[in-house]
Amino acid sequence: MTPQVESVDGKVETQTVRDTPAKRRRWILQIAAAVVVPVVVLLIVEAGLRMAGVGFSSSLLVPCTVKGSPASCYNLFFAAPYFPAGMVQTPRLYSIPATKPPGTYRIFVLGESAAMGDPDSAYGFSRYLEVMLRERFPSMKFEVVNTGSVAINSHVVLRIAEGLADQKPDLFIIYSGNNEVVGPYGPGTMLTSGGMSMPVVRSSIFFRSTRIGQLLTSLGTKKRVWHGMEMFLDQQVPADSPLMQQTYSNYEENLRDTIRVAQAAGAKVVVSTVATNLKDCAPFASLHRKNLSADDLKKWSKLVQQGNDLDAANSPAEALKQYQAAATIDDGYAELEFRIARAAWRLRDYRTAGEHFLRARDLDTLRFRADSEINDINRSVAVSTRVALVDAEKILSDAAPDGIIGTDLIYEHVHMTPEGNYLLARAIFAQIAPALSKGTQASEPLSEAECERLLALTGFDRWRLANDMFGRLQKAPFTNQLNHSEQLFHFAWGTEPPNENPNDTVAHYQWAIAQHPDDPMLHLRFGGFLFPYNRNAAAEQMGMAQPWDGYPMFLPDGTQIR
């Protein structure tokens, strides 16, 4: 190094500064001190907080015992880094035996509330799949662990897969995509900061998982209360928002990483597209295009009102003309697309109707449903990673009489009816049964009626589910939908008391339990049915559903029984 310096007499001289090994070592030590010392301090603080019992482990599983045997159980604090204080959502609690018995085929289901089986996981697709496998391959033992949970998305699903990787999995089933916008780190979320790049997201997750992060987050966060979908009413995200491209990119990266984790663990993978209600679920919210003038808005509104009046007068062809004229002014308004679809459907033009129902969903600015791009990602990633693909969207569409999914297969917007869950389970069974048959002819799946007898899906349970959905639909954002009154009318029929003798319901449960006495879900649901009639019998049944030793169990009225 030879810098020039000016001497006292004004002459420029060249001065040589030697870069000696000693100076280099000093620079390295200074840089190391600037980096290492803060890291060491943070590690000491983190260790001190752990020793002091501050915060919680954010690992997916914690050691536990189930019926006296060691197991790994779901950690109730796992989801805390993804939710504000007081709003943590948990799945149906599950446990995994520490020792995997010989001949056991272990399946993990990943996804959100639709994968969980909401409104009742007892009749989710994983339960239908479980009874199909159990009955068709009686020499094998199947462990189907459903990790689906309300309000999570692919950022959380990836962490769940990582937490399950050392549990000797044989198969991962991924049914995910509905919550990419409204779930953690989505652009329309109420749970975390939204619309962030992947490095920032993953750094945030890591920080919030540490004891230091938990402490700092708790100091700066007020406790909040979960209010369901209505919390997101002000979180509209239009389809052309630049944030959507980041959302799609994040989803694809998370999905690929989840598959990579599963394959590295030696497991096979099934990826499914996501089915949504198109025909009977109007958009939750709509936005006009940004540059729409006041004059054009007035013309648009007049045409839509005229179309609505003609619709009400049972003139769908004339109504369709008015709607189409309005679309020439602004074709980005989701509710208008839904009106066009309904008019075409009434004219029995089901192909056109289906196209506009899809577009209405994709333009919905309260994005609680997986859109076409999410499902395209599911398909393309499955193909490129060479894993099995189950196209739930197509399967349920093909099963619908007019080729358009409605409330017969999906209750409200994304949660499948028992019939919808059966169809998805049957398709997954068809993917995995040939390998389990070991060269022999693959078995046919059970019929829907056979499955539901083994699951004890009684008239009482169908009535209970209908009441649940009827109650949900009386809250926002469902109350804002164009066809809200029609939805309520549909479910009101199911809220009538079941025409089923209680003794027949008891017999149905007892028969199912006799076929599989170790099924905790059967005992739990049987206990719920018995509670109004015999509290002691209900407590006995629900006690058999205890997820792990020492975990408290409660009757429906809040009375603790264990």
Distance CA 166, CA 98 (A): 11
218: confidence class by pLDDT, cuts 50, 70, 90? confident
Least confident of 168-177, 251-260, 293-302, 543-552: 543-552
164: confidence class by pLDDT, cuts 50, 70, 90? very high
pLDDT tens for 288-330 read 999 999 999 999 999 999 999 999 999 999 999 999 999 999 9
Distance CA 560, CA 562 (A): 6
pLDDT tens for 491-507 read 987 778 888 899 999 99
Res 549: pLDDT: 86
Res 81: pLDDT: 86
Res 16: pLDDT: 53
Separate counts of helices (H) and strands (E) for the chain: 20, 10
Res 34: pLDDT: 67
Res 217: pLDDT: 75
33: confidence class by pLDDT, cuts 50, 70, 90? low
Residue with more model confidence, 190 or 316: 316
| pLDDT tops 80 at residue 53 | no
Task: Specify burial of residue 135 (Cβ count, 10 A radius: 0-12, 13-18, 19+).
Answer: middle
| pLDDT tops 60 at residue 88 | yes
237 in Cβ contact with 170 (< 8 Å): no
Res 110: pLDDT: 98
Res 439: pLDDT: 65
3-class DSSP string for 400-446? CCCCCCCCCCECCCCCECHHHHHHHHHHHHHHHHHHHHCCCCCCCCC
3-class DSSP string for 207-266? HHHCHHHHHHHHHCCCCCCCCHHHHHCCCCCCCCCHHHHHHHHHHHHHHHHHHHHHHHCC
253: confidence class by pLDDT, cuts 50, 70, 90? very high
DSSP-derived pairing of the beta strands 95-97 and 171-175: unpaired
537: confidence class by pLDDT, cuts 50, 70, 90? very high
Least confident of 12-21, 173-182, 311-320: 12-21
Tokens of residue 124, six digits: 């989710």
Distance CA 32, CA 39 (A): 10
Res 185: pLDDT: 92
Least confident of 2-6, 90-94, 163-167, 382-386: 2-6
Backbone angles phi, psi at 269, to 5 degrees: -135, 135
- Cα 372–chain centre separation: 16
| pLDDT tops 70 at residue 195 | no
Res 154: pLDDT: 97
Distance CA 361, CA 410 (A): 14
Res 84: pLDDT: 80
Rounded to 10 degrees, what is the CA torsion of 111, 117, 123, 125?
-30
Q: Percent of the chain at pLDDT above 90?
A: 72
Tokens of residue 53, six digits: 């019992």
Mean pLDDT, range 228-233, rounded to an integer: 81
* Cα R_g (the chain), whole angstroms: 28
Q: Measuring CA to CA, which residue among 279, 230, 237, 284 is closest to residue 480?
A: 284
Q: CA quadruple 551, 555, 560, 562: dihedral positive or negative?
A: negative
Res 9: pLDDT: 55
Give the start-end residues of each E strand in 501-549: none
pLDDT tens for 449-475 read 999 999 999 999 999 999 999 999 999
Task: Specify burial of residue 154 (Cβ count, 10 A radius: 0-12, 13-18, 19+).
Answer: buried
| pLDDT tops 60 at residue 11 | no
- Cα 509–chain centre separation: 30
Task: Specify burial of residue 198 (Cβ count, 10 A radius: 0-12, 13-18, 19+).
Answer: middle
| pLDDT tops 70 at residue 220 | no
Res 46: pLDDT: 66
End-to-end CA distance of the chain: 78
Distance CA 155, CA 253 (A): 10
> For the chain, percent helix, then strand, then coil, each to nearest 5?
50, 10, 40
- Cα 344–chain centre separation: 32
Residue with more model confidence, 223 or 260: 260
Residue 298 CB coordination number (10 Å): 11
Mean pLDDT, range 529-535, rounded to an integer: 95
Distance CA 60, CA 498 (A): 40
Domains and CATH numbers, the chain: 4-51 (no CATH), 61-225+248-280+369-438+447-457 (3.40.50.1110), 294-363 (1.25.40.10)
**Which 8-state DSSP code applies to residue 82?**
G
